Every structure is written in structure tokens, then in C-alpha cells.
Chains A and B, each alone.
Chain A
């Protein structure tokens, strides 16, 4: 991965908050390697521009929802719209969702555009106690994300342990807790994109072989 953009999805961008600082730190690291970060999030007002070294795309939404869960689900429509808009214009190589609130739109966009996606779970519902009215639905979304993402990144052992209930495939969850975690995330991105590139190459070769066989009158069966 030596160019292109990463699409970072977080629910809100507020200076000084965990997810914002996380995104900022990763974006700054990627920028040094000529990789642009586009951050999509909800905001009180529509806002576009370069902030803290990232291309910020804040969208607003008029509906409020009847609770936090429904509001988080409602804004997925605007997330999708914004993500789609950016993908149309930029060379987006990878989508990086943060927590369940970014999962629905990220995984749908990933499917639509064939762009791989990863999720960082800063914590999961199992770990938070499964004691809220919508805990089961949130957990269901987290699990859906686990199934569909290329990798899951976590930064603490407790989150990884909590995820064991999901009966995950080996190596799907990456615990990155070193000082230079940004470098680890970057290497993970590279691995995903290399695998993707190889898969594309294999697919292309298979089609070419099939065409050649058809031309020569040889059945590929």
C-alpha cells in the first residue's frame, strides 16, 4: 500500500475524545506514508475540510430517534450516502470502521464497492455487560461485523477475551497493543490489500484461461 485513501468511519468527531484521537493518530501516521485519510462522521452541521491532518466529512441528520440505538441506526443512511460520495471521487483502498455504530454502513459500502474493510472494536457489548435494552441487537451487529470484515482490531486483552463467545476463526482478531500500534495497523492494511491484489490477479488469470480454453475448444470442466 503506497498510495490511495483510507476511509475512517466513526460516529462523532470531537477533539479530545477517544475515537477522535485514535483516528487522528492513525491518520497522521498514514500521512507520512502518502496515504490520505478521509474521516466520515455525524456532526451538528455539515462540514467538509482538512482538520488535524485528515479530510473530514461531517454530515448532519434531522431525525433524532427514540433512543441511542435507533438514532445510531438512523444515521446509517447518511453514512452510506457520504461514503458512496467519497468512493465515487477518491481512490479508496480500504474502509476502517470503529465500533458497532459504524458497522452497518461500512459493511454495506464494502459489499457494494468491493472494498475490504476492517473494524476496530474499542470494546464490545459482551464486555460492557449485555445489560442494556438493546444489548442483544448491538451484539448481533458486532457479530455481523466480525463475520464480514477482513480483520478485527482490538487494543486490549479484555475485548479479545469477550469476543471468544463468537467462536471466531483463528487469527481474525488482532490484538495490537504495542507502542507502535499504528505501524501494526498499517502492516495489517498492507496484508489485506496484498491478499486482495493476489485474489484479483488469480481471478483475472482464471477468466483469461477460460477464454483461452474456449477459444481453443477445450472444456474447462
Chain B
């Protein structure tokens, strides 16, 4: 099958989880003999073959707001798509998130190839409500992406229900396909425990964008409570975004500055080492459509303490691969962290179970097969 993927981010440009998702899905489909082309945003117009995937990057002038930039980028994506369509046909046009929807819808119209949209998350849940004109437009584009698509994919059960309820998408065209993980990649890390903690300390990792959605505030509020009972714990709060300084100051203000290390954005190879160096990974998210961090940590054999929200409900099994805690509740988060790291034997057992679960249930091969089934459905419908 020839598949054209449209995504605003693709490695090496990574902001959220969409880039890794599209890359891993594309690589797996390529291994299975499918022909994948990606159109994405870049610093300049260029084309390359990256790990067997044809990647075309377009560029667009930034504007005063994200929506105008996205719509300009979509115009350039559409233009690049048309250039490709003149030379080759595609069986499927696959848009990832609202930021690729208008380009995909146009290319669907002019190519007659069916369109598949994956909604990785929803604006109404990311920001809490549709409270501004910009949020309304993003929400509208998410609806439009679902409306125009022949088939819609979501990555979690909660977001599946949200789309069903808010966008009135017919159930027969909505599919739940989870994210996947190359588990072995996360088992090849070296321990960097000596670099992040003292001999007697127990490192606990948070990784993700430092923003409200990820519940960083609640994690920091939980820190004194954890340290009261377990002073050995050391928090590694890894991730970029505009919030680094804000949350570092917050930790200082709460008197836990010396027990919270903020290394900023961590590249992939170091992240793998980190997963292999800590006793637990904590995901205090208030909203998490899927949460790939859980699978990465589980693959490395590290238990996950995660909020009982979105995809974490499916990836983490309470007291089997980690612990579920109540979202936005520092007491509950503190309880989960303390419990996960207090008994080394149990901690080890949770880690082993998690590793097995990631290797068995969330392989990219399985996810790619499920995605192909959706493509086949789209072709049947068109």
C-alpha cells in the first residue's frame, strides 16, 4: 500500500508525542513492505530518505498565532502533496491531528484517495474548555478532520468516547488503535544513577512537557509529602517547554529545590538511560489521551505511578505493572510514589510485569496491523 502521512512534527523535530508515533508507525509499515511518504514542517524546504521513509519538509512563515501558522503550513503541505500526486498515486492519505487536516482534506478531494485522521488528543481536554476563538477554531478543525475522514483513529478509550460524544462521529468509522513501543530500544540503556542521585538516594522520574496538562504542579505539591516519609527520594523532572523556570521556582518555594533536579529537554539516548536508572516513573497528568511515557518506562522494566486518566488506564495495571493514583491530588500521588519505591522486591516485580505487558500487548507490529485494518476499511468504503 502507498501511504501519504501528513504531520506537523516528525523527527528530528519533536515537541509532543506525535513525531515519535508517526515515525515508529511509518518504519513498521515500511518493514512490512508498504511504501510511506511523509510531508511535514521543517526549517527549510527539503526532501530526504530517513530510515527508508521519504520525508518532505515544507516551510511557512510564522505569524502572530499558532492557527495562522498552521494554516499557512497546510497550504504548503497541500502544494507539496500536489507535486507528489503528479508523479505518483497514493492509496491512503493519513492526517495526524488538527494541524494537518485542511491539507489532507484538499488532497483527498483531488486524488480520490480515502482519508484517515488520527486524533491524538483534543483541544477541549488539553486546555480544559473551549474558551477562546483560537480554541474554537482548533476544536472545529478537529471536528472537520473527523468529518472529512473516511475513517478516524483514536489512541485511547477516553478520547474515543469524547469524539463519539462531542463530534457525533458514527461509531462504525471510529477506531481505537493504541500507541506502540519498540520495547527492546528501551532495554539497551546504561545506568546513569551515579550522575543523577547520591548513593543513598532513590531516583524517581517525570518526563514530558512541563505544562498544566501533565500535572507537574501536583507532582511538586506531592514532593514534601513523599519526602516526609521517604527522604531518600530524589525527583528528576525532565522535559522542555516554557514551564521549566516556573516549576523550578515552585519547587524552591516549597522547600524541595535540592531534591528536584530539572535537566530540561533530554534527548532520546539519555532518556533511555534515565528510564534504566530510576526506581519509578511518575505520570501525574490531568489529561493524557495515551501517554507513551508509560510504555517506554514499562519497556525498561521501571514501574509507573500514573493518574487514572486516558490511556494510562489501559497501559498501567494497578498493583501489577505500577500504581494508579487520583489525578490532581498531591496526597494520592505521594501515596503512589512512596508505595512504589518502598519495597525493592515488589518494585522489581512490578517492573518485570510491566516489561512483559509492553512487549506483548503494545508492539508496533500489532499497532501497524490494526492501522492497516483501518486503511483496508477506508479503501472498502471509498
Annotate B46-78 by CB proximity to A: 1 below 8 A, 0 otherwise.
Answer: 000000000000001101110110011011001
Specify which chain B residues have a CB less than 8 angstroms from the CB of A80 in the assembled complex.
78, 106, 109-110
Whether the Cβ atoms of B68 and A73 lie closer than 8 Å is yes
- With A64-B140, A66-B133 known as contacts, the answer to whether A74 contacts B86 (CB < 8 A) is no
Q: Give A42 to B102 CA distance when docked, in angstroms.
A: 17
Interchain nearest-CB distance for B83 vs A (Å): 7
Whether the Cβ atoms of A66 and B61 lie closer than 8 Å is no
Q: Give A74 to B72 CA distance when docked, in angstroms.
A: 10
Whether the Cβ atoms of A136 and B106 lie closer than 8 Å is no
Q: Which of A185-215 contact B (CB under 8 A)?
A: none
Interchain nearest-CB distance for B58 vs A (Å): 12
Which of A48-56, A89-97, A103-111 faces chain B?
A103-111
Specify which chain B residues have a CB less than 8 angstroms from the CB of A107 in the assembled complex.
79
Annotate A100-118 by CB proximity to B: 1 below 8 A, 0 otherwise.
Answer: 0000100110011000000
Whether the Cβ atoms of B68 and A76 lie closer than 8 Å is no
Whether the Cβ atoms of B65 and A66 lie closer than 8 Å is yes
Interchain nearest-CB distance for A76 vs B (Å): 6
Q: Is A137's beta carbon under 8 Å from chain B?
A: yes
Q: Is B265's beta carbon under 8 Å from chain A?
A: no
Interchain nearest-CB distance for A98 vs B (Å): 17
Whether the Cβ atoms of B75 and A69 lie closer than 8 Å is no
Q: Which residue of the partner chain B has the closest CB to A139?
A: B61
Contact of A81 among B109, B133, B134 (CB under 8 A): B109
Whether the Cβ atoms of B106 and A73 lie closer than 8 Å is no
Q: Is A219's beta carbon under 8 Å from chain B?
A: no
- With A70-B137, A136-B63 known as contacts, the answer to whether A111 contacts B109 (CB < 8 A) is no
Q: Which residue of the partner chain A has the closest CB to B132?
A: A66
- With A66-B133, A66-B134 known as contacts, the answer to whether A73 contacts B74 (CB < 8 A) is yes
Chain B count of residues within 8 A CB distance of the other chain: 30
A interface residue count range (under 10 / 10 to 19 / 20 to 34 / 35 or more): 20 to 34
Main secondary structure of the interface of B (DSSP, over half): helix
Q: Give A67 to B64 CA distance when docked, in angstroms.
A: 11
Specify which chain B residues have a CB less than 8 angstroms from the CB of A84 in the assembled complex.
109-110
Q: Which residue of the partner chain B has the closest CB to A82?
A: B109
Q: Give A133 to B86 CA distance when docked, in angstroms.
A: 35
Q: Which residue of the partner chain A has the closest CB to B69?
A: A137
Q: Give A112 to B75 CA distance when docked, in angstroms.
A: 14
Most buried by B among A66, A140, A141: A66
Interchain nearest-CB distance for A136 vs B (Å): 6
Contact of A133 among B64, B71, B106, B133 (CB under 8 A): B64
A-B contact count (CB 8 A): 87
Specify which chain B residues have a CB less than 8 angstroms from the CB of A64 in the assembled complex.
136-137, 140
Specify which chain B residues have a CB less than 8 angstroms from the CB of A141 in the assembled complex.
72, 75
Interchain nearest-CB distance for A104 vs B (Å): 4
Q: Which of A101-153 contact B (CB under 8 A)?
A: 104, 107-108, 111-112, 133-134, 136-137, 140-141
Specify which chain B residues have a CB less than 8 angstroms from the CB of A66 in the assembled complex.
65, 67, 132-134, 136-137
Interchain nearest-CB distance for A47 vs B (Å): 20
Q: Is A65's beta carbon under 8 Å from chain B?
A: yes
Whether the Cβ atoms of B102 and A74 lie closer than 8 Å is yes
Q: Is A3's beta carbon under 8 Å from chain B?
A: no
Q: Is A63's beta carbon under 8 Å from chain B?
A: yes
Q: Give A84 to B60 CA distance when docked, in angstroms.
A: 24
Interchain nearest-CB distance for B306 vs A (Å): 34
Q: Which residue of the partner chain B has the closest CB to A136?
A: B61
Q: Is B29's beta carbon under 8 Å from chain A?
A: no
Q: Is B82's beta carbon under 8 Å from chain A?
A: yes
Q: Is A34's beta carbon under 8 Å from chain B?
A: no
Whether the Cβ atoms of B82 and A111 lie closer than 8 Å is yes
Q: Is A25's beta carbon under 8 Å from chain B?
A: no
Q: Which of B228-242 contact A (CB under 8 A)?
A: none
Q: Which residue of the partner chain B has the closest CB to A132?
A: B64
Specify which chain B residues have a CB less than 8 angstroms from the CB of A81 in the assembled complex.
106, 109-110
User: What are 9 A-B contacts with C-beta separation under 8 Å?
Assistant: A64-B140, A70-B68, A74-B71, A76-B78, A108-B79, A133-B63, A134-B63, A137-B68, A137-B72
Given contacts A77-B105, A84-B109, A108-B82, 7 further A-B contacts (CB under 8 A): A63-B141, A73-B102, A108-B79, A111-B79, A111-B82, A140-B72, A141-B72
